[in-house]
Chains A and B, each alone.
Chain A
């Protein structure tokens, strides 16, 4: 076994265990911390696949985002820090129903649409050229410009929405009144 394979096995094992802990941990804050470990391991897997850029972005985006998420968990939920919170709500059967339906629908969708399996053209994965190609593919009309712009608009909508929600009540009334 090479060092690469040993590393992969260890990291993959940690990732799976941590992912299980995310859903079974009774404390919300702990669940968020396990999620960080899982995503960190995924970043290491990206490194092992020679996709350094994705690994670095994974850490930069997710770990910062989860730090914010923990704050929101503490501010918005009751007993976020306590250990004895119950794991199931009264409507657990409805949640299972929704999840199962979504899963079935997704499987159905993937089987009905054949070209999804083909996937987009892979980028060449060598150093500097990879970054150049990644950047160009995001603004290329024939490749990913549509998903890229849709994602941008989604983020813009979220941004404007959060500003509207956060505006003090007086300003909101004044603007809608005039």
Chain B
């Protein structure tokens, strides 16, 4: 019983392996089989968890907007999502005339696959991780590219102008926000000196979470990952008032449901990524001894971040496309570049001179924040001056002061 508590996940995997090998299956086939079973179970649990996620999100948004939210089906409306799913399943699957059949049907699959795929490298607990590959961080980025591709395909193949516009906005936004997101990801990699997800979590033991060491990078990652999954206030690839529903306008029934599930799960996934990379993942008191506790800490941290994501969604109005692009290229990307330079120099100094790591990084971040604020202030005054000049020129000739 002691081994069950200490190493629940290893114990369970060993049990399954023994069972399969006792059936007379060769060892390497058992490995493949176990991996397949693991992937199936993980994906199913994730997709089922969207029932709770969608309900929680609707409930929280409703509270923020001074409404009650779903409250009819089941206790507190928990079963509302099940009812919605039933409705979606019974709807007809419509394929528009002139649609490109194979990409059209492939797109919802890719959208869901890209989200679920990220969880393969997510360390839930010390001994509970799908695949501890040594390039885990880069893997999450490349799987995200497949999600972009799914949205692109949906827009391209629907034979609808609004869908195509939605897909074009995707390129303008998701691909450009990938730049600061990847740059911000470099900093946890640099601090942990590894790209493996579980080594990054292990490097954050004893509350040396990377959000304390690199708050600027954490902020950049948080903002750009919200943009990357296309959530409010960055949800203009499906802005209802402008392009009806964007890339998924021609999808109905369960195919629309898959995009819907992908969107909600994606928001939860970036929360989990943030918790892993910056909040120490499963780290917490006694997590090393009882891995189950690690899973609990991981879920608590993820839920907290998820709450903030929902909070932001309920609070901010949608950006315009030019605001989104200038926010990215003129603000977030330079900040991310600056954060990398500061973090790299500080980390090297810490290693060479033996300074206190936390104090050194805190000082560097304070300097960085001051530089950002000062340059923002300078930019604002320059912009104000330019605007004043423009206003002066706009005065009609009769009222203008005589030119010398």
Question: Using an 8 Å CB-CB cutoff, how does the interface string of B182-211 with A read, 1 for contact, 0 for none?
Answer: 000000000000111000000000000000
Q: Which residue of chain A has its CB nearest to the CB of B103?
A: A33
Q: Which of B32, B156, B171 contacts A68, CB < 8 Å?
A: B171
- Point out the residues of chain A lying under 8 angstroms from B32, CB to CB: 3
B152 within 8 A of A: yes
Q: Which of B100, B134, B152 contacts A52, CB < 8 Å?
A: B134
Question: Using an 8 Å CB-CB cutoff, how does the interface string of A59-80 with B read, 1 for contact, 0 for none?
Answer: 1100110111011001000000
Q: Once the chains bind, are B28 and A3 in contact (CB under 8 Å)? A: yes
Q: How far, in Å, is B227 (CB) from chain A's closest CB?
A: 15
Contact status of A64 and B156, CB under 8 A, knowing A56-B135, A127-B134, A131-B135: no
Q: How far, in Å, is B94 (CB) from chain A's closest CB?
A: 20
- Point out the residues of chain B lying under 8 angstroms from A66, CB to CB: 149
Q: How far, in Å, is B143 (CB) from chain A's closest CB?
A: 8
Q: How far, in Å, is B117 (CB) from chain A's closest CB?
A: 10
Q: How far, in Å, is B180 (CB) from chain A's closest CB?
A: 15
Q: Which of B29, B138, B175, B194 contacts A64, CB < 8 Å?
A: B175
Report the Cα distance A11→B148, complex, angstroms: 23
Q: Once the chains bind, are A56 and B149 in contact (CB under 8 Å)? A: no
Report the Cα distance A3→B33, complex, angstroms: 11
Q: Which residue of chain B has its CB nearest to the CB of A66?
A: B149
Q: Once the chains bind, are B138 and A57 in contact (CB under 8 Å)? A: yes
Contact status of A56 and B139, CB under 8 A, knowing A64-B145, A64-B175, A127-B134: yes
Q: Once the chains bind, are A67 and B175 in contact (CB under 8 Å)? A: yes
- Point out the residues of chain A lying under 8 angstroms from B143, CB to CB: 59
Q: Once the chains bind, are B145 and A59 in contact (CB under 8 Å)? A: yes
Contact status of A36 and B149, CB under 8 A, knowing A2-B28, A3-B32: yes
Q: Which residue of chain B has its CB nearest to the CB of A4?
A: B28
Q: How far, in Å, is A4 (CB) from chain B's closest CB?
A: 9
A128 within 8 A of B: yes
B219 within 8 A of A: no
Report the Cα distance A66→B103, complex, angstroms: 15
Contact status of A29 and B156, CB under 8 A, knowing A36-B149, A67-B148: yes
Q: How far, in Å, is A2 (CB) from chain B's closest CB?
A: 7
Report the Cα distance A2→B26, complex, angstroms: 11
Report the Cα distance A125→B30, complex, angstroms: 26
Q: How far, in Å, is B35 (CB) from chain A's closest CB?
A: 11
Q: How far, in Å, is A68 (CB) from chain B's closest CB?
A: 6
Contact status of A71 and B168, CB under 8 A, knowing A3-B32, A53-B135, A128-B134: yes
Q: Which residue of chain A has its CB nearest to the CB of B143?
A: A59
B142 within 8 A of A: yes
Report the Cα distance A127→B164, complex, angstroms: 42
B258 within 8 A of A: no
Q: Once the chains bind, are A3 and B29 in contact (CB under 8 Å)? A: yes
Report the Cα distance A127→B153, complex, angstroms: 35
Q: How far, in Å, is A9 (CB) from chain B's closest CB?
A: 16
- Point out the residues of chain B lying under 8 angstroms from A36, CB to CB: 149
Q: How large is the interface on B (under 10, 10 to 19, 20 to 34, 35 or more residues)?
A: 20 to 34
Report the Cα distance A116→B100, complex, angstroms: 45
- Point out the residues of chain A lying under 8 angstroms from B100, CB to CB: 29-30, 81
Q: How far, in Å, is A165 (CB) from chain B's closest CB?
A: 17
Report the Cα distance A161→B100, complex, angstroms: 36
Question: Using an 8 Å CB-CB cutoff, how does the interface string of A111-127 with B read, 1 for contact, 0 for none?
Answer: 00000000000000001
Q: In the complex, which of the residues A36, A56, A74 has the most CB atoms of chain B within 10 Å of its own CB atom?
A: A56
Report the Cα distance A66→B171, complex, angstroms: 11
B146 within 8 A of A: yes
Report the Cα distance A36→B150, complex, angstroms: 12
Q: Which residue of chain A has its CB nearest to the CB of B28?
A: A3
Contact status of A59 and B146, CB under 8 A, knowing A2-B28, A68-B171: yes
Q: Once the chains bind, are A64 and B178 in contact (CB under 8 Å)? A: yes
B141 within 8 A of A: yes
Report the Cα distance A131→B194, complex, angstroms: 9
- Point out the residues of chain A lying under 8 angstroms from B244, CB to CB: none
Q: How far, in Å, is B398 (CB) from chain A's closest CB?
A: 28
Report the Cα distance A66→B28, complex, angstroms: 36
Q: Once the chains bind, are B195 and A131 in contact (CB under 8 Å)? A: yes
- Point out the residues of chain B lying under 8 angstroms from A59, CB to CB: 142-143, 145-146
Q: Once the chains bind, are A60 and B149 in contact (CB under 8 Å)? A: no
Q: Once the chains bind, are B141 and A60 in contact (CB under 8 Å)? A: yes
- Point out the residues of chain B lying under 8 angstroms from A60, CB to CB: 138, 141-142, 145
Q: How far, in Å, is B111 (CB) from chain A's closest CB?
A: 13
Report the Cα distance A53→B137, complex, angstroms: 11
Q: Once the chains bind, are B156 and A74 in contact (CB under 8 Å)? A: yes
Q: How far, in Å, is A160 (CB) from chain B's closest CB?
A: 15
Contact status of A63 and B133, CB under 8 A, knowing A29-B156, A71-B168: no
Question: What are 9 A-B pairs with beta-carbon distances under 8 A?
Answer: A3-B28, A33-B103, A57-B142, A60-B142, A63-B142, A63-B145, A67-B175, A74-B164, A127-B134
4 additional A-B pairs beyond A56-B138, A56-B142, beta carbons within 8 Å, are A63-B142, A74-B164, A128-B134, A131-B135
Residues of chain B touching chain A, judged by Cβ–Cβ distance below 8 Å, are 28-29, 32, 100, 103, 133-135, 138-139, 141-143, 145-146, 148-149, 152-153, 156, 164, 167-168, 171, 175, 178, 194-196
The 3 closest A-B CB pairs, nearest first, are A60-B142, A59-B142, A64-B145
